Amino acid sequence: MSATRFTYLGPEGTFTEAALRTLPEAATRELVPMVSVPAALDAVRNGEAAAALVPIENSVEGGVTATLDELASGEPLMIYREVLLPITFALLVRPGTALSDVKTVTGHPVAQPQVRNWLRANLPDAVWESAASNADGARLVQEGRFDAAFAGEFAAATYGLVPLVTEIHDAENAETRFVLVGRPARPAAPTGADKTSVVLWLGDDHPGALLELLQEFAVRGVNLMLIQSRPTGQGIGNYCFAVDAEGHISDRRVSEALMGLKRTCPQVRFLGSYPRAGVAQSDVRAPRPGTSDGDFTAASDWLGRCLDGRA
C-alpha cells in the first residue's frame, strides 16, 4: 500500500482538492486526482493510496449519492475525519469573453442547484450541461467546448481562464462536507465531539420498520444528524439508510444502539467514528439524563446485584 499517497475527486482545481489541502497531513502526501468518486475510493481498496477525500454531503442538495452508494457497497472502507468547506462559485471563461457571449455553461450536477437563481436572472437563455466535476468543467471551457463553467475561483489559473463573475451562490453560507476514507482499522480515540456513521438495511418491509430502527437510537438518547435512503438495486421499494449519529462507538449509548441494530437488521455496515469538523467538546450538549456512560454503568451494576440476590 502506498502510505504516502492520497487520492481525491479531480481533476486539479476542484473544491475537493481545496478541502484536502486544509488537512495538515496533506502537506506530506502525494495528492493524486481521480476521474470519479468510485475511482478515488477504489485506489484505497486496491492499495494504491492510503486514503481518499471525497464529498459526501452538501448543505443545499443533501447527500452526495455517488459517495453514499460507494461506501454502502463493495469492500468495506472507513471514515477517519471530515472537512467542511464553504462553497461559493465563480463563472470562469476564456480571456476576452463577455457575459453576453455566454451561451453554454457547465459544472458538476451538485453545483447547478446552488447557482440556479443566478443563472435564471443573469443568463436565462444559456444551456447547461453537467461535467464530471467543477474543475473538469473548467477544462472543457479551456478546450472550447463550453463558454463558461461554474467552479472555484482558485481553478481559473490552472486552466488559463479568468473569473468573469465571483461570489455566486443562491444560498448564503452554503458548504460541502468531505470525508477522508481509508481501509478499516481501529477507530481513533473519542474526542468528546464525535460522529458515528453507519449504513443500515431493513429486514423486511412492514409498517413501522424504519421507526423500529430509529427507536434504537431514540431510546438511548442518540441524536441523528443525517438519515438518507438509498436504493439497494434489488428492486423498487428496497432501500438501505445512511445514518450519521452524534457520539463515538465507544460511548455506551452509541455502542448499545449499534448492538440493537445488529440484532434486528440483516446488515449493518460501520463506516467509522471520527471528530466532528468545526465542533469543540465545549460545544457539545451533555447527554440526556439516563443516557451517559455513568448511567449505563449504574444500570448494569444494578442488574448484576439483582442476579446475585443483592438488589
Residue 145 has pLDDT above 80, yes or no: yes
Residue whose cell numbers read 468495506: 76
For the entire predicted model, the pTM comes to: 0.88
Residue 282 has pLDDT above 90, yes or no: no
Give all domains of the chain, ordered by start, each with its CATH number.
1-87+174-185 (3.40.190.10), 91-166 (3.40.190.10), 186-310 (3.30.70.260)
Residue whose cell numbers read 438518547: 221
What are the tens digits of pLDDT across the range 214-269?
999 999 999 999 999 998 877 777 889 999 999 999 999 999 999 999 998 999 99
Please give the single-letter amino acid code of residue 267.
Q
Residue 37: CB partners within 8 Å, gap ≥ 6? 9, 54, 55, 64, 66, 67, 70
pLDDT-derived band at 310, boundaries 50, 70, 90: confident
Q: What percent of the chain has pLDDT over 70?
A: 99
Residue 172 has pLDDT above 90, yes or no: no
Q: What percent of the chain has pLDDT over 90?
A: 78
What are the tens digits of pLDDT across the range 258-272?
999 999 899 999 999
115 near 89, Cβ under 8 Å? yes
Q: Which of 261, 282, 74 is nearest to 181 (CA)?
A: 74
Residue 1 has pLDDT above 70, yes or no: no
175 vs 1, higher pLDDT: 175
pLDDT-derived band at 109, boundaries 50, 70, 90: confident
pLDDT-derived band at 278, boundaries 50, 70, 90: confident
pLDDT-derived band at 2, boundaries 50, 70, 90: low
Average pLDDT of the chain, as a whole number: 93
Read off the pLDDT of each residue in 168-196 and give the average, rounded to a whole number. 93
Residue 4: CB partners within 8 Å, gap ≥ 6? 28, 29, 30, 50
Q: What is the pLDDT of residue 62?
A: 86
Least confident of 46-60, 88-102, 137-151, 231-245: 231-245
